[in-house]
């Protein structure tokens, strides 16, 4: 049974994000000044060049890539800015006019970016998402369920928490918490938010949401009132990018807890992130320095979070994008036809399948990657208290240093990545997918990866006895790794081998129409109906070097299976 935690701050009205929403206008005014000063102080370009580049790129965006969600006066505003720039360059008060233009643009961007929060909308979202997630994680009329889709408790028992949950909860009352999760699905933000609220008892956090999501009015209505700030990835101009990064830094400085996806985007391959973008992590370091410079004693805490799913709804499109990116001209995208039969099969799966998810909390750290104790104090490698203030000193005073903070950001990123791998929870579905695909690679050493992925599904078959022996070898090795703190294993991994394998096969890619991995009717041969999906889910265990650290049973070259039968 999943342990349901009481809320750290019971009243939504007392949550930091709600206090922030009540002061939204004042926050935007302060953010405007903050961005304005940063651009003037830090930019290597002159203000004229910054504005010219911004106006040009925005004019191009409006012509080549307009969206329905764009402001109705978008084209008119940027035409006005272009005319104002021409007039400013002729004016005797050129610098004054240029600064006024910059303020107008900064304010426009910040009004767009900064989100809002409404307690009533949040309460409704709780109810709506409970219904939504019951349809995804619960089975229709499962044995023992009182209701068709189960109760809320049935759902919450499918959301499992592992790792440093209590430690993370304690930090919400001691400073500003930044959750930095892995990223696999478009559902990650709402899934994490729901789990943190309903199971972990944590207050809502601010997070970035792509502006494209606001194209759908009903989605825009809710996201805009649930603490999300807008991110428009079309806008690459220097002023917008400064507004976006400053929003993250300044919100943390004001004490708003956040969710940052440091990978920047969903994992296309299905593997854990092995490289992070530094922008958002750097924002946390900057915010910590700002707190110190302004006499605040508050601290910012970084908590890595690994999400483990048995299925990713958009897995097919993600793996195609990954293969196109790494294969380039070597890879030709496959086209799959959709018909009434496939829709009916999906409808049946929607009613007959169930799944679960695991959120694994890494050990909390400060913005420099140091461990913190229960009181939030930073510790060195010998567990002695240390002062962060010293790390931000320059010639005896607190001062900004872009070069120094870029080094700190890289160190923090390395600590987060290490935490991902150590706190990754291996599900039974991950295990069976990895072993099956690795055995296929060993069978077909004569073929390249892309050639293997072009094989017809009927050309894949693995002896079930060999598969079971290989699972046993890998599980034994993984148990040693877990004891050494190098990864985590789900409860199912400790079940008898036959139960473990059947559970993994059943849960793997639950809602895909094709069977990602299956056993024939006599349970002697494993088959797949979609090799690329098998590859996607197998990639979850990449990076642990199992290929060389574990003995792999020699396997016969594939044999054709004329007729694939499922249980």
Give the per-residue pLDDT at 563.
41
Whether the CB-CB separation of 489 and 360 falls below 8 Å is answered with no
* Cα distances (Å, whole numbers) of residue 425 to 394, 480, 483: 42, 14, 13
Per-residue confidence band for 133, with pLDDT thresholds at 50, 70 and 90 = confident
Burial of 484 (0-12, 13-18, 19+ CB in 10 A): exposed
Give the per-residue pLDDT at 181.
97
Lowest-pLDDT choice from 169-183, 222-236, 332-346: 332-346
Helix (H, G, I), strand (E, B) or coil at 463: strand
Q: Please report, for the chain, how many H helices and E strands are present, in that order.
A: 21, 14
160 - beta bridge partners?
358
Gyration radius of the chain's alpha carbons: 26
Report strand pairing: 462-463 vs 176-181.
Answer: unpaired
The dihedral built from the CA positions of residue 545, 550, 554 and 557, taken in this order, carries a sign that is negative
pLDDT per position as a tens digit, 494-545: 999 999 999 999 999 877 888 999 998 888 899 999 999 999 999 999 999 9
* Cα distances (Å, whole numbers) of residue 462 to 411, 443, 494: 43, 9, 23
Q: Give yes or no for residue 336 having a pLDDT over 70.
A: no
Per-residue confidence band for 564, with pLDDT thresholds at 50, 70 and 90 = very low
145 or 397, which is more confident:
397
Helix (H, G, I), strand (E, B) or coil at 214: helix
Backbone angles phi, psi at 521, to 5 degrees: -60, -30
Reported pTM: 0.90
Per-residue confidence band for 138, with pLDDT thresholds at 50, 70 and 90 = low
Element (DSSP H or E) covering residue 198: helix 188-198
Report strand pairing: 258-259 vs 300-309.
Answer: unpaired
Whether the CB-CB separation of 288 and 176 falls below 8 Å is answered with no
pLDDT per position as a tens digit, 27-63: 999 999 999 999 998 777 789 999 999 999 999 999 9
- Quickly count: other Cβ atoms within 10 Å of residue 151's Cβ: 14
Give the per-residue pLDDT at 224.
83
Helix (H, G, I), strand (E, B) or coil at 178: strand
Mean residue pLDDT across the chain: 89
513 or 201, which is more confident:
201
State the Cα–Cα distance between residues 246 and 239, nearest whole angstrom. Answer: 10
State the Cα–Cα distance between residues 88 and 182, nearest whole angstrom. Answer: 47
Lowest-pLDDT choice from 53-67, 94-108, 376-390, 530-544: 376-390
Helix (H, G, I), strand (E, B) or coil at 520: coil
List, in sequence order, the alpha helices (H) in 138-187. Answer: 152-156, 165-171
Q: Give yes or no for residue 565 having a pLDDT over 60.
A: no
Q: Give yes or no for residue 118 having a pLDDT over 50.
A: yes
Q: Work out the percent of the chain whose per-residue pLDDT is above 90.
A: 70
Lowest-pLDDT choice from 35-44, 149-158, 251-260: 149-158
Q: E-assigned strands of 362-473?
A: 393-394, 397-398, 425-426, 462-463
CA dihedral 10, 262, 300, 200 (to 10 degrees): 20
Mean pLDDT to the nearest integer, 259-283? 93
Give the per-residue pLDDT at 36.
96
Report strand pairing: 300-309 vs 357-361.
Answer: antiparallel
């Amino acid at each position: 049974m999943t342990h349901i935690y009481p809320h750290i701050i019971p009243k939504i009205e007392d949550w930091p994000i709600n206090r922030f929403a009540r002061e939204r206008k004042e926050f935007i005014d302060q953010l405007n000044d903050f961005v304005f000063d940063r651009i003037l102080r830090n930019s290597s370009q002159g203000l004229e060049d910054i504005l010219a580049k911004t106006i040009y790129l925005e004019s191009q965006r409006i012509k080549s890539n307009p969206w329905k969600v764009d402001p109705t006066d978008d084209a008119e505003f940027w035409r006005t800015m272009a005319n104002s720039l021409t007039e400013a360059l002729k004016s005797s008060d050129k610098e004054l006019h240029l600064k006024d233009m910059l303020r107008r643009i900064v304010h426009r961007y910040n009004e767009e970016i900064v989100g809002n929060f409404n307690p009533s909308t949040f309460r409704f979202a709780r109810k709506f998402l409970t219904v939504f997630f019951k349809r995804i994680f619960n089975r229709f009329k499962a044995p023992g369920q009182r209701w068709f889709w189960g109760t809320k408790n049935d759902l919450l028992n499918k959301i499992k928490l592992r790792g440093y949950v209590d430690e993370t909860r304690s930090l919400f009352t001691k400073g500003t918490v930044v959750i930095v999760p892995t990223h696999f699905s478009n559902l990650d933000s709402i899934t994490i938010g729901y789990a943190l609220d309903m199971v972990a008892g944590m207050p809502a956090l601010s997070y970035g949401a792509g502006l494209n999501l606001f194209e759908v009015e009903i989605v825009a209505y809710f996201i805009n009132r649930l603490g999300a700030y807008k991110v428009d990835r079309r806008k690459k101009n220097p002023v917008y990018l400064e507004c976006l990064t400053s929003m993250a830094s300044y919100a943390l400085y004001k004490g708003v807890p956040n969710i940052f996806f440091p990978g920047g985007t969903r994992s296309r391959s299905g593997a854990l992130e092995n490289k992070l973008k530094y922008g958002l992590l750097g924002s946390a370091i900057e915010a910590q320095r700002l707190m110190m410079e302004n006499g605040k004693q508050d601290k910012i805490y970084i908590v890595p979070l690994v999400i483990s799913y048995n299925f990713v709804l958009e897995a097919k499109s993600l793996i195609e994008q990954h293969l196109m990116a790494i294969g380039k001209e070597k890879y030709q995208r496959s086209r799959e036809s959709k018909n009434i039969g496939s829709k009916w099969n999906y409808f049946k799966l929607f009613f007959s399948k169930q799944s679960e998810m695991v959120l694994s909390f890494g050990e909390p750290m400060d913005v420099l990657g140091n461990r913190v104790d229960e009181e939030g104090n930073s510790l060195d490698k010998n567990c002695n208290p240390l002062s962060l203030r010293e790390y931000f000193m320059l010639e005896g005073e607190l001062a900004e240093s872009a070069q120094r903070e870029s080094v700190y950001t890289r160190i923090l990123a390395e600590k987060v990545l290490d935490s991902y791998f150590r706190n990754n929870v291996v599900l039974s579905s991950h295990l069976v997918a990895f072993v099956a695909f690795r055995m296929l690679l060993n069978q077909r050493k004569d073929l390249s990866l892309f050639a293997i992925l072009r094989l017809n599904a009927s050309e894949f078959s693995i002896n079930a006895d060999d598969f079971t022996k290989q699972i046993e070898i890998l599980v034994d090795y993984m148990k040693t790794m877990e004891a050494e703190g190098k990864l985590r294993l789900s409860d199912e991994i400790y079940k008898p081998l036959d139960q473990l394998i059947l559970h993994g096969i059943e849960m793997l890619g639950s809602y895909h129409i094709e069977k990602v991995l299956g056993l024939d009717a006599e349970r002697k041969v494993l088959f797949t109906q979609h090799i690329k999906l098998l590859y996607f889910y197998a990639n979850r265990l990449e990076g642990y070097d199992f290929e060389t650290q574990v003995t792999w049973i020699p396997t016969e070259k594939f044999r054709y299976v004329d007729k694939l039968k499922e249980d």
